Amino acid sequence: MTNANCDRETGADALRREWLGLLARAAPGALGERMDAARAALGDLPPHRWLRTPETGSVMLRGRTGGTGAPFNLGEMTVTRCTLALDDGTVGHAMVPGRDKAHAEHVALADALLQRDGSRDAMQAAVLDPLAAEEEAAAHAVAAKAAATKVDFFTMVRGEDE
Amino acid sequence: MSEAVSLYEGGFADPAPAAAAAFRGALEALARPGRIERFRDCRPPVGMSPGAGALLLCLADADTPVWLPEGAEDVAAWVLFHAGAPRAVRREDAAFAAGPWEALMPMDAWPVGTADYPDRSTTLIVELGALEGGPPLLLSGPGINGSVTASPDLPEGAVATLAGNRARFPLGVDLYLTAGEAVMGLPRSTRVETG
């Protein structure tokens, strides 16, 4: 989702970028469970209407060698995006990897609810914190598995000088 | 809060067929200069005609910055959401420019392409009051069998400007003239004379 109309990134934008990334990276099933938990915490979720129904397409990923070289096209990625508005006009965006439309809807709904003062704290506790913990645990698990296969190379004295 | 969401509304109700039809119309308009095409499917933002809105929706994307006159922030936000196209700040960066004739002048300010890449020019979408009833113009050139008369409501001096654009061929800018749903193509290859 482009954010080009924001000339400079404010603290709120950085925070929103972070939670949109966390929600998009989450496994669709895990996010669905978290949204059920949010529903339990908030009572019924407010009604929403579509501004852009979930649609699947591809985006070109661009990279820079070493982060500083000339940009090049790395490859295409399948994404699903959608936009919705809550009954009070709060707009939530989503762009998630893959073609899971329910995942996109959950992310957009969570994005809108996280922007509202009345629901932010409950969403933070029910959705963002557990997902962040799961993501960190998964990263640790991968790092631990990799660490277990680490090999220390050393050279023994070969005694050729004798 | 309905104000806040309005920029997310409009566009094509049924995007795939409507965008295909609009693209066909955009091709026809440039292939047959002087003929009026109609774009009925687009609900544009306030301050933009349905024809111009449909052209931007089917032609503009993330790689084509769109220049808009000062004060058109709402239109720019609409174009960004629906077409994904950023707003061009400088005229030399614009792939498209949309606005009234006066706002788009002088014509020289737009990129006209280079000898190696004449396609690297700006396409102007000129919002007019009407495409009929203005001073009659005689159009000739590729896509026109002999000559054809068109009478878009262009201001005085426009004929000389368009003739100057033709004189630079193969460089130059291509124009779409729009009024409401009506769109007329005026590519750089068309000779424009007072009829």
Cross-chain Cβ contact A51/B9 below 8 Å: yes
Residues of B in CB contact (< 8 Å) with A are 1-2, 4-5, 8-9, 62, 76-77, 80-81, 84, 86-87
The per-residue pLDDT for A162 is 59
Query: Residue B65 pLDDT more than 50?
Result: yes
- Global ipTM: 0.71
Q: What are phi and psi of B90, to 5 degrees?
A: -100, 145
Nearest to A89 among B2, B81, B86 (CB): B2
- Is it the case that residue B2 has pLDDT exceeding 50? no
pLDDT of B24 > 90? The answer is: yes
How confident is the model at residue A161, as a pLDDT?
A: 64
A26-38 pLDDT, tens digit each: 999 999 999 998 8
Residues of chain A with pLDDT under 50: 1-7
Which distant-in-sequence residues (6+ apart) come within 8 Å of B37 by Cβ? Answer: B25, B26, B28, B29, B182, B183, B184, B185
* Measured distance CA(A10)–CA(A16) in Å, rounded: 10
Query: Cα separation of B176 and B178, whole Å?
Result: 6
B80 vs A2, A89, A90: nearest CB: A2
Instruction: State residue B3's pLDDT score.
Output: 41
* Model confidence pLDDT, tens digit, residues B114-151: 999 999 999 999 999 999 998 999 999 999 999 999 99
Please indicate whether, in this complex, the C-beta atoms of B8 and A5 are within 8 angstroms of each other.
no
Cβ count within 10 A of residue B100:
13
pLDDT of residue A141: 95
Q: What is the pLDDT of residue B78?
A: 94
